[in-house]
Every structure is written in C-alpha cells, then in structure tokens.
Structure 1
C-alpha cells in the first residue's frame, strides 16, 4: 500500500470523544477543495480516527488508502476493500454536495472553496461485547462556516445557513440516514483487530516555573503531564493541600504526542515572593492506583528549567500534529490545509439553540436543546457585555452549575436595563464543549414567555464561539483578569 501525503486539516465545530474504559469513538474526516478540478471532480482527502488515533488516510491524488496502524494489515482483504470502497463512495457524495453548494452560494470553483464533512459515532461496550450508541454525528462546513447537520434523535437535517435550505428539504424528504448504523458496523470491525494496540501507558509529570510574561512580580507555575494513554486525565494544581479553582488556571487542552500518547499542561500565576507557600501537582489517571503528586521544588535554576521544558513542549506541539488530521470550523475564515497546527480540543458535543424564554426586571430564564451523549453537567457563564461593564467596579463573571438532566435555568440578581452575555457549555470529566451565547437585557416587565416577536430592548443575538489568540486558554476560559463566582443552580 502506497504512502499518502500527511495532512493536517482544520475543523472547530465539535470533535472527538476519547476511549475511556469501555467507551469508543470512530470518526471519518473528509475535505474537498475546488482547486485542481477536472470536469468538476475535486481534490479529496480523508482520514479515519478510532479512539482519537488516526488509523488510515486516503487521497484522491493517488487514489491510495494508507494504513496508519499495524493491526490494519491483519484485516481480511474483503474488509479492507469494503472500507476503501466506502471512502470512494463518500467522495462522490461530497463532490455532489460541493457542486450544489457552490451554485447556492453563487461561487466559482476558480475562487478556491472548501467543503468539510465530519461523520461518526461514539459507543459504549458492555462486558458481553455488545455496543450501545451514545452519540452519532454528521455535519458539514463550507468555507469555514457551519452548513448543515443531522440530529440523530429527531432524524432530521437542519441547515445553518439559508443557502443550505434546499439541501435540508431534499434530504429530509428522502430516506432516513443510516450512517450511524454504518458507523457502528465499522466500529465492530475495527475493534476486532485494534485491541492489541490499545495498551495503557504510564505518564511523566513535570512541575516548573518561569517569569510571568504579563507581570514581572509573578511567576507562571506549570504542571505538565505527558506520555499517557488513554486520553482521560485529571490535573490539579494545589497550594499546600488545597486545589486551586479551575477558573484561575490556564490549560493547553489534551494534545496528541507523536507516539499516540497524550499530554496536558495547566498553569497558574503566583507571587514570586511566596517563599513559604508549598505548591504541588496532583495527577489522576487510569494507569495509577493512587494520584501521583509532584512537588514544585523552588530553585535558582527554575526559570531556565521552565524555559527548557516549555521550549521542548512547544517543539512537540508543532510537530505531533503532522499526519494527524483535526477539523476546525473557523468563523469568517476559509478552512485551509496545513502541515502543522496546534490547538486545544473540545472533546464533547455541546448544547444547542440557547434562548431566553422569560424576562423580569432582575432575572431571566434560559432554555436549550440538550447535548447528545453522556455529560456530567452544564455550566452557565453570566456577565455584563464589554460595552456595559463598568471599568472600575470589577464586575465579575458568574458561573452557574446545572444538572445534566436539565434543559433550562433561571438566572437571578441581574440589573435592569443592562445588556448581559449568557453563555452555556456542557462538561464531561473536566472537558468543556464549545459554548453557545445569547445576549439579553432584563426589562421592566413581569416574567412572561417570549413567544413571537420581541421588543428591541429584548433582542437576542446568537453568537458562535470565537477562537482565542492565547494557545494556553481554553475556549471557555474567562478573559484575563476576570473572576468567576460560584452560584448554586436555581433549577
């Protein structure tokens, strides 16, 4: 089997669930571009990810499917051929969708456009080997924008832009999509062979500090855990025996290493003159019987050590993603193919259609469509908008925890006539989804349903997640300097 060019693709809307215990995921990531077309047949590339590990790649340039795991060479010839035929069939479908959407947008292929498709499933394997579906995904993006997605609960397609409405109507009028069932079939096939490659690996933990880049009187204390598999890991930075709250930390997110293992880095700003304070890092992982605790050893060479380790980490991050394909929906920017990229990953599906359903002078009630699959909880972030936030009062961001079984919450103690941002994420094992946000101004009227049209001062604007220029900030971290206040859920 020939070699295929290594590619690193970009796709932000959603992503991958790790194989934690008996949970497994399988995703197909496809990209088609209008460059180098022949008779409107466009350049196509694909990769398959099993439990977050790339298992194959396919490129229309040479028409070759290349295995990325040794166990794939043990597959039956008929299974390999069927898997290759599937990729070729999906190319034909994606090519048809691409042509249709370029016409809908009135785009010319010579302008250079991109269509991406992520389809797959997450399952749980019981002791008898049976698979139960936790979540299925099928979503398309055009030139970096969400295009259309499939809801496996309602079995309906939903367009994100008006140019995809015709596609939505056509697909909803057709047969029920069977790709979830198809994904589970291939999951069973691959898991038959991949068991020998999913060995647990131990991890290394490093704690170091360097001068803060934002405050000369502070240090940036970092805990780095690397070389672990499976992906699920918990890191706590502690002062003496007390864990520091998550909103004070910055995180790299779980990132892949070149050898198929993972790394995670968390940091916190501390005072340089805290000579009496004792800081340590506590790491919990399935390969450890008890949490591994690594103490920060303060020394004169600490700054140099931090720079050395930090430089090594940066080098790893810049290289490990070559050949690993990650899709990122990027707002207002055409998705491009890159040979090196680093980003933090959202590991779980998030809630959708966040909206305000009731308003009073000092409170609002919000409602949302539940996130598919298993989660631990929802988190609401409530703050005045930047333009309405007093510069001297230190108005904080409120953080409200909501049970995973809920689909609504009441937010109290708001200020009438002020514009608020209300953001919602789902969380599973400390990993947060992409957030959805609404804006609302508490009014002077009594609580009531917001059915139909709304007055201008109650206008609600749904906004997509913006990417951060700071690689150490998680997508849902508050802006620098903001504090979070923990409030009990009112639901």
Structure 2
C-alpha cells in the first residue's frame, strides 16, 4: 500500500509525499523534495536503479494527477485560500494462491471521502464510486484502463512480491495472543468493570467478543476495541464492560472469546465470580491484624534492646499484601 499526500498551501512539509507499506511494515518513502525513493531494507540496494525507475513512473504520475484534482476540488467546493490536503491510499494484494489480486484506490480531500476505484485485471474491469463529479468519456476510460493494466498493476505486484520475499519471515509469522482478564470495582457504587485484554499477537487482525449469558454484548455498551501497537512489533486489543450495582446481584455468566490466525480454534475464557465480599473483607481484616501484631512485637523487641543497651535505633515497616483470595482479577 502507498499512502500519498498532496498539500495545497504553505506548510513546513513537502508538497507531495508517499509512505510505502508492506502490510504493516514501512519499506519506503518518497517526497517532492528530492524526487527519489528511500528504502529501509539494505537488501533493496541491488534493485535501486529499477526501484527509482518504477518510482519515477508511478509517483510522478500520481503527483500530477493528485495536484490537478486538488486544484479542481478546491475551486469546485468553493474553498478559500489556505491549507488543503488531498490524500490517496493505493495498493494491490496477493491472494492465497499467490495470484495477483485487484488494484485499489481510495481518495479523500480535507478528510472527506471522495472516490473509490478498483481495477480487476482478471475481469478487465474498472469500478468507481463518486468519480470526482467528472464524467469520463469512452476514450478516457480506455486510456485509464490501459495505464493501470500495463503500468500500475504490474509494477505494484512486482514490488509486492519482491518485498514479500525479503520480509516473508516477518510478515508471515504468527504470534499467539496472551490474555488477561481484569476486574475493577468502580467508585461511588457505580458497579464493576470487567476487561478482556489480548496482547502480543501478530498479525494485527483479531476478533475479540464479550458475551453475557451466551449472547454477544451490545457494542454500544463496550469501551475500547481499538487495535493498538506494542513496542515489539506485536499488537494489543482491550474491551471493557461496566456491570451496574443492580446487575451484580443477578446471576450472569460473562466470557471473552477470540479468534486469531495463530490459534487453531477460538479461545474462550470465562470470568469467574470472585466478588465474595465476606471473604474479601475477612482477608483484609486478617492482613491488618497480622500487620498490627508484627508492629507490636517489633516495638517490644526494640524497647527491650534499648533498655538493655541504652542506645541504638531501629525502624520497621509493614506492607500489606493481599492474600490470593482477596485479589479481584
């Protein structure tokens, strides 16, 4: 995928820039300051001349097209002078059998989706949605189809295959998620929050669902759900649900299920009810009593030592650590 940005107006950024991605790995960068591609992989150096040639064809054509469209849209939408941003997400894919898939384009102007474009080489067909309020004549359609069929699509697939070969061990790896179930009592008698956290997984796509009594919880009641990056190249997702004080007195079964490419079957984890307030209070009282007894005994020992030696000092500290039965999640 290539994320291209064209800026209308004066900013400290390049007028035109492109970030090149293989799945979620950045492999290259290009902008209008140098008009050259910069690649992050050392093994790409032997393809440098070929890469620069491909970049010169694709990105320069993309620059001219996006510039013309941005100027047109600025006037057509009656925007005043200032900074305006035209962005394009474009790319291709390899299917499961390594067969070349379609070529895709998504365009936006000032954050507003303006056009979707798909070229399917196998069907020799172009599909468009909201084509910039400009009607293409038959000659224009033929020209665009030939351009994408003979230039854009082949170069995109060739680049994808090349970098996939370089990074296959990384982008094709499968790392199983680690799962944590958490419970948090809310203040002011607002109830209990339960959370299901899956972390450390790759690839980034995961299906995590919270259930109550065997039925999926309404998404409107759930917070979180965004896929976030970890610092080690893996990802995490957390979903949380607040259970009201009234619901705590009802008998409900909550569980969390997830599906991921690294798992042979879906993973199902049930929230065990550990909200026995009697045992929790008892464990706290027991812990406090032990702490007080320890302080009294320590004080007596220090007093006797001082009485015998007449000098010296000693301090002690008691830190309460909940017993296993007092841990709430």
Q: Does 1:174 align with 2:143?
A: yes
Deviates more, 1:288-297 or 1:141-150: 288-297
Q: Which has the larger radius of gyration?
A: 2
Take 1:290 and 1:157, find their aligned partners in 2: how far apart are those partners?
Answer: 38
What does residue 62 of structure 2 align with?
Answer: 90
Deviates more, 1:198-207 or 1:285-294: 285-294
What does residue 185 of structure 1 align with?
Answer: 158
> Aligned in 2, Cα 1:140/1:290: closer, same or farther, shift over 3 Å?
closer
Query: What is the RMSD computed on CA atoms of the aligned residues?
Result: 3.7
> Aligned in 2, Cα 1:51/1:92: closer, same or farther, shift over 3 Å?
same
1:238 CA drift (Å): 4.2
Aligned residue runs from structure 1 range 83-122, under 5 A: 83-85=54-56, 86-107=58-79, 110-122=81-93
What does residue 195 of structure 1 align with?
Answer: 168
What does residue 395 of structure 1 align with?
Answer: none
Aligned residue runs from structure 1 range 295-314, under 5 A: 295-296=270-271, 298=274
1:30 CA drift (Å): 0.8
Q: Does 1:150 align with 2:124?
A: no
What does residue 8 of structure 2 align with?
Answer: 34
- Give the number of aligned pairs: 262
Contact 1:58 / 1:65 at 8 angstroms: preserved in 2? yes
What does residue 208 of structure 1 align with?
Answer: 182
1:33 CA drift (Å): 0.8
User: In the alignment, which of 202, 213, 217 is matched to residue 190 of structure 2?
Assistant: 217
Take 1:267 and 1:142, find their aligned partners in 2: how far apart are those partners?
Answer: 35
What does residue 267 of structure 1 align with?
Answer: 240
Contact 1:254 / 1:262 at 8 angstroms: preserved in 2? yes
What does residue 295 of structure 2 align with?
Answer: none
Aligned residue runs from structure 1 range 303-452, under 5 A: none
Structure 2: state its 5+ residue gaps. Answer: 281-329
User: In the alignment, which of 86, 102, 106 is matched to residue 139 of structure 1?
Assistant: 106
Q: Does 1:80 align with 2:51?
A: yes
Take 1:71 and 1:203, find their aligned partners in 2: how far apart are those partners?
Answer: 31
1:136 CA drift (Å): 3.2
Contact 1:53 / 1:260 at 8 angstroms: preserved in 2? no
Contact 1:207 / 1:280 at 8 angstroms: preserved in 2? no
1:225 CA drift (Å): 0.7
Contact 1:157 / 1:172 at 8 angstroms: preserved in 2? no
Bigger relative contact order, structure 1 or 2 (CA pairs below 8 A, ≥6 apart): 1
1:115 CA drift (Å): 0.9
1:79 CA drift (Å): 3.8
Contact 1:158 / 1:168 at 8 angstroms: preserved in 2? no
Take 1:78 and 1:282, find their aligned partners in 2: how far apart are those partners?
Answer: 49
> Aligned in 2, Cα 1:62/1:152: closer, same or farther, shift over 3 Å?
closer
What does residue 28 of structure 2 align with?
Answer: 56
What does residue 257 of structure 2 align with?
Answer: 282
Take 2:42 and 2:270, find their aligned partners in 1: how far apart are those partners?
Answer: 40
1:249 CA drift (Å): 3.9
Deviations 1:342-390 (A, max 9, x none): xxxxxxxxxxxxxxxxxxxxxxxxxxxxxxxxxxxxxxxxxxxxxxxxx
1:34 CA drift (Å): 1.4
Structure 1: state its 5+ residue gaps. Answer: 1-26, 303-491
What does residue 307 of structure 2 align with?
Answer: none
Contact 2:86 / 2:108 at 8 angstroms: preserved in 1? yes
What does residue 234 of structure 1 align with?
Answer: 207
1:229 CA drift (Å): 0.7
> Aligned in 2, Cα 1:63/1:149: closer, same or farther, shift over 3 Å?
same
> Aligned in 2, Cα 1:165/1:80: closer, same or farther, shift over 3 Å?
same
Deviations 1:294-333 (A, max 9, x none): 4546479x9xxxxxxxxxxxxxxxxxxxxxxxxxxxxxxx
1:243 CA drift (Å): 5.1
TM-score, normalised to structure 2, is: 0.64
TM-score, normalised to structure 1, is: 0.45
Take 1:237 and 1:157, find their aligned partners in 2: how far apart are those partners?
Answer: 37
> Aligned in 2, Cα 1:243/1:260: closer, same or farther, shift over 3 Å?
farther
